[in-house]
């Protein structure tokens, strides 16, 4: 009888949900707020103070990472979006010696030390690993190919620095996947990333309030990324977590507070006056509601269509920015670039040139980082310009296969997020899956209008989330989450 009773009992698995210890989040609340204060108030930190404190702090963090690698990971996640302004060179003129690289080095040491101490494999298995690695290797091949083709005209050192800034965020995918092994660490990483996003949104709103009068172009806010389009893209890559968690926990009044950071991010997008970010926000919001509720999706589509048909419902600044895209006297022209403003018209011309570049070298492209220098041969009026389209610049510089690999990465992320959404029973991970799906679809559209994945500060969170998706899938398959 006792044995039968034991067999009928529900086993206590590792998936048992523990109560969240919010006190452990407080130091990161202080750390992120302090960085924001230093930037907002332009607080000077004397070298005589920063250098010894920084060195001692990093040494302590490095030693601590051998026993608690989670701490260094969370500090890296908190710091990276602020790293463009808070560079942390320690008054050294050594290329590559900055706080971002030092923190990544410390986190990597902690990762390896933890694997050694626990006798676990260094690399966690994931269906995405080889594809991401192939993407990085293809980029490196493109870099070396360009050096071979152009010789000393291709300054390998300068282009390698650009390549490093491109590949560093991708490396964070492996860090996120291999260092997030349980729900507690998962939730802490998410909290730090979401709180940093909220603070950056508040800083953008504050910057706009201090702009004063001036033209629309002068009013655009670049925030901690010092570039309005990059700031808008950052919000699109991150903000839909606030919406998804609200939609799953709306019955609890405290989760209504998540609407505050969501609306702050929306306002942050508005003050960038970035048309690409506006459209990407619409795409991300619509897809977030699609994966959460078909009723909400229909409502979102209705509101979106209503705003297109009658833009009077849009805020004035957003309406004027979108209206500025088309105009002028040549409204009857058959060429799209003739009926758009100068900025949008130039992009269309550049895209046509990029397509010609792809046709010229479809397999391997012209080499990493060469687009600004090669485009002038195809469009003489457009020298030293960006492609303003991630997909075109990847194909033009690294070839169509590289573009297909990148699209495969995005497809696999969407597929695994949908898999997690359908199979997990925990609201937290359902909300995470819906939020990341909204972010990815926003990213897909944002990168149609700009190269928004070649910056460490802007794209790092996307690759960390990619690692978290695969980590959550692994935890689900192992029964560590319900």
pLDDT in tens, 189-229: 999 999 999 999 999 999 998 876 667 777 889 999 989 99
pLDDT band at 93 (very low <50, low <70, confident <90, very high): low
Q: How far apart are the C-alpha atoms of 279 and 338, rounded to whole Å?
A: 22
Q: How far apart are the C-alpha atoms of 204 and 144, rounded to whole Å?
A: 39
pLDDT for residue 163: 92
Least confident of 28-37, 183-192, 328-337: 328-337
Give the other-Cβ count within 10 Å of 66's Cβ.
16
Model confidence at 465: pLDDT above 70: yes
pLDDT band at 63 (very low <50, low <70, confident <90, very high): confident
pLDDT band at 8 (very low <50, low <70, confident <90, very high): very low
pLDDT for residue 326: 52
Model confidence at 334: pLDDT above 80: no
Is this model's pTM higher than 0.85 or not? yes
Q: How far apart are the C-alpha atoms of 284 and 127, rounded to whole Å?
A: 25
- Ranked by mean pLDDT, which of 4-13, 143-152, 463-472 comes out on top? 463-472
pLDDT for residue 45: 74
In this prediction, residues 352-379 reach a mean pLDDT of 92
- Picking from 293, 262, 266, 295, the residue whose alpha carbon sits closest to that of residue 280 is 266
CA angle at residue 226 from 206 to 323, to 5 degrees? 75
Taking phi over 0 as left and psi of -120 to 50 as alpha, with beta for the rest, 92 belongs to: beta
In this prediction, residues 440-466 reach a mean pLDDT of 93
In this prediction, residues 29-49 reach a mean pLDDT of 86
pLDDT for residue 129: 95
Model confidence at 13: pLDDT above 70: no
pLDDT for residue 291: 95
Give the rounded percent of residues in the chain with a pLDDT score beyond 90.
58
Model confidence at 330: pLDDT above 50: no
CA 16 to chain centre: 31
Phi and psi, residue 326, nearest 5°:
-115, 145
Residue 259, both tokens: 């609407």
Query: What are the distances in angstroms from CA 453 to CA 139, 232, 480?
Result: 14, 13, 32
Model confidence at 22: pLDDT above 80: no
CA 350 to chain centre: 25
Q: How far apart are the C-alpha atoms of 434 and 291, rounded to whole Å?
A: 6
CA angle at residue 212 from 207 to 216, to 5 degrees? 90
Residue 397, judged by CB atoms within 10 A of its CB (0-12, 13-18, 19+), counts as buried
Could you tell me where the DSSP H helices lie in 324-399?
Answer: 342-360, 371-378, 390-398
pLDDT for residue 460: 95
Q: What is the number of H-type helices and E-type strands within the chain? A: 21, 0
Mind giving me the DSSP string for 151-172? Answer: GGGS-HHHHHHHHHHHHHHHHH
Model confidence at 9: pLDDT above 50: no
DSSP state of 386: -
pLDDT for residue 328: 44
Partnered with residue 340 across adjacent β-strands are 326
pLDDT for residue 320: 67
In this prediction, residues 370-389 reach a mean pLDDT of 87
In this prediction, residues 276-291 reach a mean pLDDT of 94
């Amino acid at each position: 009888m006792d044995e039968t009773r034991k067999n009928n009992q529900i086993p206590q698995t590792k998936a048992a949900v523990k109560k969240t210890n919010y006190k452990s989040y407080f130091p990161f609340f202080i750390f992120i707020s302090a960085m924001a204060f230093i930037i907002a108030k332009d607080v000077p930190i004397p070298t005589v103070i920063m250098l010894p404190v920084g060195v001692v702090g990093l040494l302590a963090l490095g030693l601590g990472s051998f026993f608690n690698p989670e701490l260094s990971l969370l500090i890296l996640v908190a710091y990276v979006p602020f790293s463009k302004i808070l560079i942390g060179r320690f008054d050294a003129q050594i290329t590559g010696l900055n706080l971002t690289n030092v923190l990544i080095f410390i986190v990597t040491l902690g990762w390896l030390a933890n694997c050694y101490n626990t006798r676990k494999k260094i690399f966690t298995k994931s269906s995405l690993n080889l594809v991401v690695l192939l993407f990085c290797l293809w980029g490196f091949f493109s870099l070396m190919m360009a050096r071979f083709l152009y010789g000393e005209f291709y300054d390998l050192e300068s282009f390698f620095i650009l390549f490093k800034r491109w590949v560093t965020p991708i490396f964070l995918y492996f860090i996120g996947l291999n260092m997030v092994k349980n729900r507690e660490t998962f939730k802490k990483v998410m909290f730090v990333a979401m709180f940093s996003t909220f603070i950056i949104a508040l800083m953008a709103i504050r910057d706009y309030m201090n702009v004063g009068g001036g033209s629309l172009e002068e009013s655009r806010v670049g925030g901690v990324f010092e570039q309005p389009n990059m700031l808008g893209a950052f919000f699109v890559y991150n903000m839909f977590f606030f919406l998804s968690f609200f939609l799953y926990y709306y019955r609890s009044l405290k989760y209504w507070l998540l609407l505050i950071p969501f609306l702050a991010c929306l306002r942050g997008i508005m003050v960038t006056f970035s048309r690409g970010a506006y459209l990407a926000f619409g795409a991300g919001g619509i897809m977030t509601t699609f994966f959460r509720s078909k009723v909400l999706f229909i409502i979102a589509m209705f509101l979106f269509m209503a705003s297109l048909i009658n833009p009077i419902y849009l805020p004035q600044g957003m309406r004027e920015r979108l209206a500025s895209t088309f105009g002028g006297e040549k409204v009857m022209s058959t060429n799209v670039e003739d009926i758009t403003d100068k900025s949008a018209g130039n992009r269309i011309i550049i895209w046509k040139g990029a397509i010609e570049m792809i046709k010229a070298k479809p397999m391997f492209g012209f080499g990493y980082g060469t687009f600004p220098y090669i485009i002038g041969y195809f469009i003489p009026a457009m020298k030293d310009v960006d492609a303003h389209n991630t997909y075109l610049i990847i194909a033009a510089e690294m070839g169509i296969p590289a573009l297909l690999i990148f699209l495969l990465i995005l497809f696999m992320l969407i597929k695994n997020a949908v898999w997690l959404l359908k199979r997990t029973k925990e609201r937290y991970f359902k909300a995470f899956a819906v939020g990341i799906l909204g972010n990815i679809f926003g990213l897909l559209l944002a990168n149609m209008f700009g190269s928004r994945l070649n910056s460490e500060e802007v794209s790092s969170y996307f690759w960390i989330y990619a690692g978290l998706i695969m980590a959550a899938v692994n935890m689900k398959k192992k029964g560590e989450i319900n």
